[in-house]
Every structure is written in C-alpha cells, then in structure tokens.
Amino acid sequence: MAKSVRNEVHASPEATVDPDQKYDIDNVERVLSTNEKAEHINYERIDNELAKYANAAAIEISPEENKRLKRMIDKRVLPIMVFTYFLQALDKGTMSFASIMGIRDDIPVLADNSKFAWLTTCIYIAVLIVEFPTNLAIQRLPVAKYLGFNIMAWSTVLALHAACKSFPALIAVRTLLGIFEAVCQPTFLILSSMWYKREEQAQIVTYWYMMNGMQQIVGGLLAYCFSLIKTGPLKSWQAIFMTYGIISFFWGIFVIWWLPDSPMRAKCFSEEDKKLMVERVRSNQTGLQNKKFRAYQVREALTDPQSWCYCLIAICTTLPTSGLGGFANIIIKGFDFTVLQTQLLAMVLGVVIIITLISATWLVNKTKQNLLVMAIYVIPSFIGTIVLMTVKLHNRATQVGLLISYYIVLSFWAAQTLSMSLLSRNIAGQTKKSTVVAMNFIAWCVGNAIGPQVFLTRDKPRYLIAFSTHMGCYVLLVIVIAFLRFNFMLRNRTKNKLQEQAGVANDDHLAHAFDDLTDKENPNFRYMY
C-alpha cells in the first residue's frame, strides 16, 4: 500500500515538496498552504523503512485495539528499559556501598573525600565527551543491538573493578564505565517516544527512572549481604563488583536477542500489528525514526530556548542528586548511625524516591499540569535543605529529624524525571531530538560531575557549602520552570492565532506526522506543559 501511495504522491505536482525545505513558523501562511496542497506523506522526507508501514493518512484505532497493542509493547519493551536502568543504577551506585565495605581501607587514598569524589566525577566527564557521538550512533545504528553491546562492555569493566589496587586503576575503569553507560538514558528517551504515545510517556519515563530508588532498596540489602563476607579469595567489595558485572553481561546478551530495534523490525509481532503500532504514535507528531542528518535541525536545536531550559533543569537537579547519591551513606553515617543502620536507612531512601516519582506522575496525569507539578515538588527540597543547614545534631530527636529532612530533600527528583518526559514529547524532528538529547545529557553530566566536588572534606559532617549550593540550584530551577511554562503557552497561542489568520484547519489526517518536521516548523504541533 505504501508503494502505491508513494507513486501517487510523486505523480502529483501539487503534492511535491522540497525534501529539505525548511519550514518556518514566522512564515506560517506558506507552511499551511503547502501542507494543504500536500495531502499525503512526503516520501522524500520520511524514513524508507518507516514508509513501508506508515499509512498515507491517520487511521482510527479503537480503544480496545489500542490497549491490546500497548500491552504487547509493555511486555516486550518496557521490562527491558526498566531492568536495564535498574542494573545501570545498581552498577553505578555500587561504589557508594563499597565506600563503607572496606575499599577505603584497602586503598587508603580514598579516605580523602576529594579523592573519593573523583570516582564519581570521572564517570560524568567521560559521558560528557562521548555524548554527541553516542547520540549520532543511536540515530543511525540498530538501537537494541547498540544498547546490548554497551551493556556487555560496561559489565566487563564493572567486574574489573575487583582487580583494582590503586587510585589510578579505579579512575581508569570508572572512566570506561562512563563511556559505555552513556548510551542508557538517551536510548530510553528515544525508545519511549518510538513506542509510546505522548500522553503515556511521562509514566513510561517514570517507570524506568524510578529504578534509581529501587537500586537503593535492593542495593542496600545486597550490600549488607555482601558485607557479611569475611573470608575467602575475594573481599566483600570485590565480590559485589564481580557479581554485578557477571549478571549484567548475560543481561546484555538477552537484550540483543529480545528487544526489537523498532516497530518496523519487530519480528515478534505480525505485519498488521507493526503497522498499527506505527499508527499509534502518529499523533505524537514527533516522528518515529529517521536516519538522515539535517543540519538545519541542529541549528534550530541550538537556538531554541526550550533546549537550554532542559539543560538548566538537568544541571539544577543532577548537581544535588550526584552529591547526595555518591555521599548518601557517608552523610547518613554522619548522623551517628552504625554501618548496619546506614545500609538499612539507605533502603528507605529508595522507597522515598519511588514514592516521590510515582506520586508526581500520578498528579501530572490527573491535572495535566506537568510544569506546575515540577515546581510544587521543589518546595520540600527547600524545607529539607534549610533544616539540614540550621539544625545541629545533639540528641536522638534531632538525629531522626535530620534523617527525615535528608529524605524529603530528594523530592526535586520529580522535576528531573518530568523534564525528560517533556523533552521526549515536545521536541520533534529526529536530528533536532538527537541534538537536544545530547545537549541535555551533556548538562546532566556537568551537574553530576560538579555535584560530588562541593562535598568538601573540611566541611563534614554538615556540608554547609554543599547544601548552600543546592539551595541556589533550587531557586534557579523554579525560575526556569516558570519561564518554560510561559514560553510554551505563548508558542501555542501564536500557532493558534497564525493558523486562524491563514484560514486553514488542522491537519486532522496527520499526513505529515512522519515527515521529520521539527516542533517549530510543524504548524499542527502543540507543546505540552
């Protein structure tokens, strides 16, 4: 069917559109008139693989059929994203648990917090360097195969941690770990927008991102079990690195076998179901797959204010996150808890993170107010940080109070998760999306790299400098959220007004949803906020 429609489009002069034409919202009359004439997909812009499955215009999918398709996708794709992210978070967070399992005694230089902080910082410096090449590879290579290869690579590096006897050796393996783990979050954002509808993506992103909390729960329990190892060829911290590395390696093999690269390549589904899965995401108007690099979309990404807003949100949330995560056990132990109590209380921290993310997503689905919910969830972070900075530890009551305050500080994680779901829903055009995702995770790396560095050894155990820095991040975060909301409202209002002036109705048939148009150049695209 796609072939016959393609011939029909090419035979019609009115439907022919320059494949690299740069539409512009400032000249919306021309854009709208062009779209009105071109009643079919522009096969010069659409991905060739996608063209075989995309209908000429939107087809109606019943609610029952939509639920059936989503269940199939959930069974095949969602568990891969969730468990892979869990393993990545577990692997990356193992150093925090190892910090109180003897590694600092075996490698004495790590007793210096500034040295220990570099074991987290070097990961994000590595990610910072490889982020753009990785995102280009994700756009051009089979996604599932590329992800599986990187999982096997980082698991091998993780197992090698057990052989490290010096600080330089640890820096080397931690850097390699960052290089291979750089694929994870960008891939999941692409998979989320490839397989799921816009209204589903906030929930899907939350499902895999809340594995940061799950690793705190499971990781704390497993770390306690490993800490019971007192004899044998491996010390407890070596055993935990080896075990996680081996498990992750076999999981990488499974991912390559089980996860489809795209709906079009999913041999596990029938041809009819693959076509319907493509049609499910047509209404996103953010595209599905396109391997052609379009330079003008890079320029648009770099000049679009929303791109830089996502970057600022990433920095303002990851800078506190990385410090609080890398030093979680050290901070909690600083409240005069024993090692066992610290391990168990770190598990509670995971529960707090999961509850925070799930409740925020539920509130977004209920109110449809993504940015307002983000702002609301920053408020407890202000309160908790102020308590940590002003209340001194002097009895059991303040010990418990400081611990609770530390827990509620982490409510800002909701802003980080919801921001990523906004990016996947509000950025259209495959080259632009790849560029913005790369920008976002470069900013994410900058925040993560800086975060541990503000926890200075001379400032322990209260770390006033670190928490003051966090307060500044929360203030900037609220300002960015307010600007982004105003900006999206203004853009939608402008598009509505220009479309009314042009006297052209919306493209109800969504004929151009897969034409690799950006959110700015597509006059039918509306921002979610």
Chunk the chain into consecutive blocks of 10 residues (it has 529) and report each block's average pLDDT, rounded to whole numbers.
Answer: 35 37 43 48 67 70 88 93 91 78 80 76 84 85 93 94 89 92 88 87 89 82 81 85 93 94 88 86 74 86 94 91 62 62 72 90 90 94 86 73 81 90 87 89 83 74 80 94 94 84 59 73 84
Supply the pLDDT for residue 145: 93
- Which pLDDT score, from 0 to 100, does residue 490 have? 92
- Sign of the C-alpha dihedral computed for residues 405, 467, 383 and 479 taken in this order: negative
Identify the structural domains of the chain with CATH numbers, from first to last.
70-283 (1.20.1250.20), 294-503+515-528 (1.20.1250.20)
* Per-residue pLDDT tens digits for 11-39: 333 333 344 444 444 444 444 444 444 45
Radius of gyration of the chain (CA): 24
CA geometry: angle at 464 spanning 463 and 465, to 5°? 95
Cα distance between residue 107 and residue 14, in whole Å:
72
Question: What's residue 301's pLDDT?
Answer: 92
The token duo for 490 is 């203004």
8 Å CB contact between 179 and 132: no
Contact 175, 68 (CB under 8 A): no
Using the CB atoms, write b or e for 304-327: b if 16+ within 10 Å: bebbbbbbbbbbbbbbbbbbbbbb
- CA-CA-CA-CA torsion sign (308, 309, 310, 316): positive
pTM of the predicted model as reported, rounded to 2 decimal places: 0.79
Q: In Å, how far are 65, 376, 476, 477 from 369, measured between CA atoms?
A: 28, 11, 20, 17
Q: For residue 529, which amino acid is it?
A: Y
Q: What is the pLDDT of residue 286?
A: 73
The residue to which tokens 């040295």 are assigned: 115
C-alpha 126/C-alpha 133 separation (Å) is: 12
The pLDDT score that the predictor gives to residue 29 is 44
- Give me the pLDDT at residue 275, please: 86
The CB density around residue 137, as the number of other CB atoms within 10 Å, is 17
Whether cis (ω within 30° of 0) applies to the bond prior to 79 is no
Query: Who contacts 334 (Cβ-Cβ below 8 Å, separation ≥6)?
Result: 460, 461, 462
What is the amino acid identity at position 210?
Answer: M
| Residue (of 173, 337, 187, 326) closest to 242 by Cα position | 173
CA distance to 331, 343, 353, 435, per residue, from 335 (Å) = 7, 13, 20, 43
Residue 247 has, within 13 A of its CA and on its CB side, a CA count of: 13
DSSP type of residue 514: T
